[in-house]
Structure 1
Amino acid sequence: MVPPEPPPSPVDSVLDLAPVVPVLVVPDASAAVPLARALAGAGLRAVEVTLRTPAALEAIRAIADQVPEAVVGAGTVIAPEQVAAAVAAGARFLVGPGWTQGLLAATRGCPVPFLPGVSTASEVVALLERGVREMKFFPAQAAGGTAYLRSLAGPLPQARFLPTGGIGPANAAEYLSLPNVACVGGSWMAPADAVAAGDWARIEALARAAAGIRGPASAQV
């Protein structure tokens, strides 16, 4: 008898999977699998499905079951009860636009990593005090962009960020050049019209270009 395959192992750090994490709003779960295959096949292994539509958990479940090359996560996690629901659906990481004591408590002991959202130095310090080292910086452009993140790198070098919000192909490399930025999040590689039309070839081409974005070599650490 062939032994059953073990479940996927937890993701140690989603920040190290690819330079760009696609942030997806999936209105129809039937698009989830071909969308994830196009993104992962182009080199964007981490796929964040935001919990903004009724189809989100079904989409996460479908990707987890049918696209083993992708590491699917749940985004826009804002309530404690969403933590268990997302993990049960197969999410291998969780991302929030912010955080509360209740949300952190719900993720304590969670089998998958949680990236809480921050936009101020005080929030970063508060999370570091609680042992959290990896965070989402949101909304990145509106909260100060690369200048703000560069200012945080000196006094808070132990914090690593996934900036999201207002980031696209024109400025992604600038973010990736910062020593405290491991990857960025965005949705430009999965435009809504391409998803609606099932234009997976277009999405794969955009994702391949995104996977090739790097910051200037001289600025990397």
Structure 2
Amino acid sequence: MKACFMGLGYIGLPTAIIAAKHGVEIAGVDINAQVVEVTNQGKLHIIEPGMEEMLREVLASGHFKAYTEPRVSDAYFMVVPTPFKGDHEPDVSFVESATRMVLPLLKEGDLYVIESTSPVGTTERMARLIFSERPELEGKIYIAYCPERVLPGNVIHELVHNDRVIGGMDEASTRKAMEFYGQFVKGTLHPTNSKTAEMCKLTENSSRDVQIAFANELSFICDKAGINVWELIDLANRHPRVNILQPGC
């Protein structure tokens, strides 16, 4: 099987390497020519323990190579940034640009997946873009959203062992995406639809934000009240249904 990963950042590159390690023929794509050059030299442009050795292995085996343009594949993965613009408005222009780059290469039976953290409805929006430009593909390709959920510094373990949420535009797309991730993910694959998967990722991030903010607010309050916040949190966490994070997370 051939797969094309659009974006070789902190998530795209490790995921591509892990997939290549499990026998998938990977084309890793990045618009930054320097990233492509360094990657093909077997050097990481990111910091991730143990990953550089794996990169060299998959380069040597021929299962991985980096490019500045996408290559014809059986599956295409959008793993690009989705920053904020203006008044905290999400910017999915990188997802759209990556999608437009693979549009001419898509063919019947291909799988298209977005991994980038995205607003609800982004997968459907990209599907509309694809079918408006390539109407002959409607009902002929598989489209899904599968959010990453890994911690930088522990990516090798978490990419393989964490559970994954797989949200297809339809049941066939969900099954197709699960087949791909099942090649290297040992965690449980949880099937759903694309909008629920998108909302799940946003919910996970928001939950962490709220917990971190709460712990930090406790720190400010305790500082003013002359209370040891670490002791306070340790004592509060003795409650069986309380799990406060450490301030400064």
Q: Provide TM-score, normalisation by structure 2.
A: 0.31
> Which one has the bigger helix percentage?
2
Larger Rg belongs to: 2
Q: Provide TM-score, normalisation by structure 1.
A: 0.34
